[in-house]
Amino acid sequence: MERIVLGFDGTRASASALEWVAERASRETAAVGVVNVVSPFARDRAETLDELGEAEAFLRERAPGTSIALHRLEGDVVSALGDFAQASDLLVVGINLGHPIRATAAGATPLRLSAQSRVPVTMIPAGWVSRADAVTVGVAPDESSAAALAFAAREARITDVPLRLVHAWLMPTPSFSGSTVLVRTPESVVAEHREVIDRALSRVMERYATMSVTTELVRDSRSASLLRFAGRSSMLVIGTHHRGVFEGSLLGSVAQEVLWHAECPVTVVPSEARVSRFEEEV
């Protein structure tokens, strides 16, 4: 049974997240905790209870038999949700697409959650519409995307859609050895990166031999290569090193660049997440 925590505050974005969770819970057994976080100084708490009640009624109608628990927490949204979701399999929140600076001014809750959570965080764009497109996952040259790859493969399996592996590459800057400039050929660089995506493909096929999997080796930045397929994906899956929001903004975090522009759900999977959790038989 998948344990899902849904952050819900009655906004349009959280309503889309609720709809996404309902569709998921109708497809496979799940226990859903609907969480509303309020400020300890909030005056009107009856409205919060009404929102939680409406969310529960929606889930019971769309996913009968789902185990549902309602929770009202106090404090900072990111800390409260993150702490509450530690024992879950998935944390789901809504997001309003747009410019990250404006979103940061409004609190940037989804970004902060994805940067700090120790479990996968799925962010559902406001106005989300279900579609049976491929699950797309970014494949890194190191092990930072191993958990993301396992999550994406399982996601494609349970939603019965193809899996798309995307690995981005750019020509390295020429290096110097004494007075000699060392320049690698495009062919050698492509071959090296082809090995990266081929290893990822082999890992998936060992687990899911009959799955429909395509590979894309793209000469572009990691974020641009993923966004290229966002319009043809039911979900984008990204691994993270957990650099944090501020450091990520300086270093060009892929998740941060993708998050505000992808019109499909985006799941950020921390590299330290247990791969075995996503490799259970489905």
* pLDDT value for 100: 54
Encoded amino acid at 31, one letter: A
Cα of 217 vs its chain's centroid, Å: 21
* pLDDT value for 144: 76
CB 122 within 8 A of CB 265: yes
Domain limit, last residue, from 108, 130, 152: 130
Judge if 96 and 172 occupy the same domain: no
Tell how strand 233-240 and strand 180-182 pair up: unpaired
Judge if 57 and 195 occupy the same domain: no
Identify the CATH number of the domain in which residue 281 sits.
3.40.50.620
Judge if 125 and 163 occupy the same domain: no
Instruction: Describe the chain by its helix, strand, coil percentages, rounded to 5.
Output: 45, 25, 30
Judge if 185 and 114 occupy the same domain: no
Instruction: Give the count of domains, the chain.
Output: 2
* pLDDT value for 185: 67
Among residues 258, 269, 234, 272, the alpha carbon closest in space to that of 95 is found at: 258
For 133, other C-beta atoms within 10 Å of its C-beta total: 18
CB 135 within 8 A of CB 165: no
Domain limit, last residue, from 130, 149, 179: 130
Judge if 36 and 158 occupy the same domain: no
Positions of the chain with pLDDT under 50? 102-107, 181, 244-252, 281-282
* Domain carrying residue 255: 131-282
Judge if 182 and 263 occupy the same domain: yes
* pLDDT value for 247: 40
* pLDDT value for 278: 65
| 254 three-class SS | helix
* pLDDT value for 197: 92
For 245, other C-beta atoms within 10 Å of its C-beta total: 17
Among residues 124, 122, 180, 172, the alpha carbon closest in space to that of 151 is found at: 122
Judge if 139 and 201 occupy the same domain: yes
> For residue 159, is it left (φ>0), alpha (ψ between -120 and 50) or beta?
alpha
Judge if 219 and 260 occupy the same domain: yes
According to DSSP, the residues that pair with 107 across neighbouring strands are: none
- Could you tell me the strand order of the sheet in which 2-7 lies? 67-74, 30-38, 2-7, 90-95, 121-125, 266-270, 233-240, 134-138, 163-169, 213-219
Judge if 168 and 228 occupy the same domain: yes
* pLDDT value for 215: 94
* pLDDT value for 124: 94
Q: What Cα–Cα distance (Å) separates residue 150 from each residue in 42, 91, 241, 276? A: 41, 17, 16, 8
Domain limit, last residue, from 130, 154, 169: 130
Question: pTM of the entire structure?
Answer: 0.86
Judge if 198 and 281 occupy the same domain: yes
Judge if 32 and 169 occupy the same domain: no
Judge if 153 and 278 occupy the same domain: yes
Encoded amino acid at 153, one letter: A
